[in-house]
A and B are shown apart, each in its own frame.
Chain A
Amino acid sequence: MSYGYSGKLLKVNLTTGEIGKESLSEETMRKYMGGKGLVYHYLKDSVDKNTDPYSEENPLYFMTGLASGIPTGGTSRMVMGTKSPITGGFGISESGGFVAPELKKAGWDGIIVEGRSEKPVYLLIKDDEVQIKDASHLWGKGNGEVNDIIKEENNDNSIKLSQIGQAGENQVQYACVINDLKHACGRNGMGAVMGSKKLKAVAIKGTVGINFKDKDKITEISKWYAKYQKDKPLSKGLYLYGTAAGVEGFDKSGILPTRNFKDGSFEKAKEISGQTMADTILTERGACFACPVRCKRVVEINKENIKVDPKFGGPEYETIGSMGSMCSIGNLDVIAKAHEMCNDLGLDTISAGVSISFAMECYERGIIDKEITDGVELNFGNEEALLKLIKDISEKKGLGKVLSQGVKKAAEIFGGGSEEFAMHVKGQELPMHEPRGKIGVGLGYSVSPTGADHMQAAHDTMITEEGPMLDSVRMLGLDKPADPMAYGKDKAEFYALMEKWWGFLNMVGMCDFIPAPRGSMPVDKFMELINAATGWDVTPEECMEVGERGITAARKVNYDLGIDESHEELPKRLYQPLENGALKGESMDRNKFIEMKQYYYKHFGWDDKGYPTEETLERLGL
């Protein structure tokens, strides 16, 4: 008997209508622990260099992990996977919310979607009763309306939903999958692939439950953590001000991406901060499944000129950065509206915001003009243009059609030297973290298998001195703080260790905001939790090896798909000086960066081109 997971995956072929199941052995589950690892396990043999991401040959995965569904907090994560239409390589995207726990409660560790339907459909999962249902009446509608209709036509308001909006239907490259209207598998184009399969939604109701080895222990840890985290600064900050708690700190430190990464400080940072949100439009502190931290925001605006519906939650830091400081917009109402629109249309707020910011810079530089912008004065700070472009991108209309392909393609179309400030890696737009003040994050953007991604490892601004932050991760082998501005072997090793740990969290289905170092739960307590759920004897060393396996596995898939070291270039702008803020004049040093990357490759047992050696693959069972 398996504990903490069911040992079975739902397999649906949308071309043939076949519905079946795939068994998952204990050996496989212990090797990968779920999430990203399971995506690798199935994706590696399913796609090759020639697979079109939008073809029926490209599978789409919804994977949970061992931690998903343990009622403790942070245990909500779902990992989607596919061959990414953005990078052409190993694609994953994670989200919190309620879908993953619900899927496990329905008796499934994940879903493998194959093929492509001829007409729009949605998947209805009620435990082991699974149906492919017609969605013709839902096609063309936004996520908010579809959420209501599916719940109503199934007479169940408690159904959990993964959905695509019009952006996914139209295969906007960075269309995302929205879970229960508030949580996004935002990156790598999961919504576009789901749209190519004509799969409008996955609706889940689970009543079977999850079989845990030691339920009493889980209850004990859950009660302890709910109380313990309350006065811990890391949890308290997330509760009070959400992920936007750091806006002012980023700004004062000169690392708040502003005006397409030209600047590191935004003069209206305070007006778009988590603190201001709490004082103005915040109506509720929301939570993912069973989480006492409650970092999610719910906002509502009922003004004559702008209304924002609270059912879509509220903007995260990434949205505040990408739609706010990046576009030079210091109006929180407008940012909240942009967030609502993106969640309804199913657009990744990071890629959408960076693409619009890029277009604003192109306009101000005279690379594009009013003929291209359809008469719009597309200067930084134009609030109306931001909202118009979000809609136009989702409909692939006018300038929106160009921007729907991301900044890499847009720069090729616009020309005029705009590739110098097209902020992407492997085609994926940079998140809201400034590598010129966090060199480790720059390394992460470069080597991440999924393109620029800020959730691969704890950031180097977090552990800058001896103290409780460093103490919280000594058990993982980290024994030195990091200087955010440093390069070299120590920085490469800091990043590699933190990447293994966060890599493991992405596999096991755990939110990075709960265990140390980003969260307040000690590492050993988290190990107790996993072992209580599974009956295993997992140690931090084993977790780090699992994380390492996931990182190396994703890299192997990418190299097999032709995404190699040559795709790891950072945007040229990062080698140019920041124009304002505390780090004015700072730029990255390309030679030192390349040297650091070699240390990083070596740490993982990869060759000087970044390909895992035979010995490494054998050691990790790959």
Chain B
Amino acid sequence: MIIEISDIFLDQKDSKNILEIQLDKPKKIIDILEEIGVKNLGYANFYLNDRKVNKNNIAKNQDKLTVLPIVGGG
């Protein structure tokens, strides 16, 4: 699956924003992101194939996951 992550959630400057990984089975979004070491997910919004979902939604290999910051005001 393709995962696109905002720089805001990446520790290192040279970390890649777009990753392609293979899932051995469908998994919860939160589990996938924790496995690849993405932190501070309490401040993120998740979009699966451009649809807003929550961290417990199940993602599959064919999916595209986008992780963006929580949207507020200002």
Contact = CB atoms under 8 A, between A and B. Distances in A.
B8 A237 contact: yes
Interface stretch (A10-18, A82-90, A419-427, A460-468): A460-468
Contact of A518 (B51, B55, B68, B73): B73
B74 A512 contact: yes
A467 B42 contact: yes
B52 interface: yes
Contacts of B71: 246, 249-250, 253, 255, 459, 461-462
Interface string A473-486: 00000000000000
A518 B66 CA distance: 22
Secondary structure at chain B's binding surface: helix, strand, loop or mixed? mixed
Contacts of A512: 73-74
B50 A317 contact: no
Contact of B43 (A234, A240, A433, A454): A234
B46 to A, nearest CB: 10
Given A233-B40, A240-B8, A582-B52, A317 B70 contact: no
Contacts of B73: 433, 441, 454-455, 458-459, 462, 512, 518
Contacts of A241: 8
Interface in B1-31: 6-9, 11
Nearest to A467: B42
Interface residues of B, number: 24
Nearest to A254: B52
A468 B41 CA distance: 9
Nearest to B41: A467
A243 interface: yes
A236 B6 CA distance: 11
Interface string A499-525: 000000000000011000110000000
Contacts, number: 80
B70 A455 contact: no
Contacts of A454: 73-74
Nearest to B17: A275
A482 B8 CA distance: 24
B70 to A, nearest CB: 6
A461 B52 CA distance: 12
Given A233-B8, A246-B69, A469 B50 contact: no
B62 interface: no
A237 B7 CA distance: 8
Interface string A228-245: 000111101100110101
A56 interface: no
B54 interface: yes
Contact of B42 (A237, A253, A468): A468
Contacts of B51: 582
Contact of B45 (A240, A249, A458): A249
A245 B6 CA distance: 10
A518 B7 contact: no
A551 to B, nearest CB: 17
A250 B6 CA distance: 14
Given A233-B43, A240-B7, A454-B74, A245 B69 contact: yes
Contacts of B55: 465
A275 B6 CA distance: 9
A409 interface: no
A455 B72 CA distance: 10
Contacts of B69: 233-234, 237, 245-246, 249
A468 B69 CA distance: 13
A250 B50 CA distance: 12
A468 B8 CA distance: 16
A462 B70 contact: yes
Nearest to B43: A233
Given A236-B8, A468-B43, A469-B42, A243 B74 contact: yes
Contacts of A468: 42-43
A236 B69 CA distance: 10
A358 to B, nearest CB: 22
Kindly name the residue among B8, B43, B44, B74 whose own CB sees the greatest number of chain A CB atoms within 10 A: B74
Contact of B74 (A231, A461, A513): A513
A246 B70 CA distance: 8
A518 B69 CA distance: 12
A459 to B, nearest CB: 4
Given A233-B40, A433-B73, A458-B73, A249 B68 contact: yes
B42 A252 contact: no
A248 interface: yes
Contact of A252 (B7, B40, B66): B66
Interface string A181-207: 000000000000000000000000000
Contacts of A582: 50-52
A230 B69 CA distance: 16
B48 to A, nearest CB: 10
Nearest to B51: A582
A236 B10 CA distance: 10
Interface in A531-575: none
Contacts of B44: 233
Contacts of B52: 252-254, 582
A583 B28 CA distance: 24
Contacts of A275: 6
A38 to B, nearest CB: 23
A455 B9 contact: no
Nearest to A459: B73
B43 A461 contact: no
Interface of A: 231-234, 236-237, 240-241, 243, 245-246, 248-250, 252-255, 275, 317, 433, 441, 454-455, 458-459, 461-462, 465, 467-469, 512-513, 517-518, 582
14 contacts: A233-B69, A234-B69, A237-B69, A248-B68, A249-B45, A249-B69, A441-B73, A462-B70, A465-B55, A469-B43, A469-B70, A513-B74, A517-B72, A582-B50
Query: Closest 10 interchain pairs by CB?
Result: A467-B42, A468-B42, A233-B43, A249-B68, A246-B71, A249-B71, A462-B72, A459-B73, A237-B8, A237-B69
Given A232-B40, A233-B44, A455-B73, 13 more contacts: A233-B40, A246-B71, A249-B68, A249-B69, A249-B71, A252-B66, A253-B52, A253-B71, A275-B6, A317-B74, A441-B73, A469-B42, A518-B73
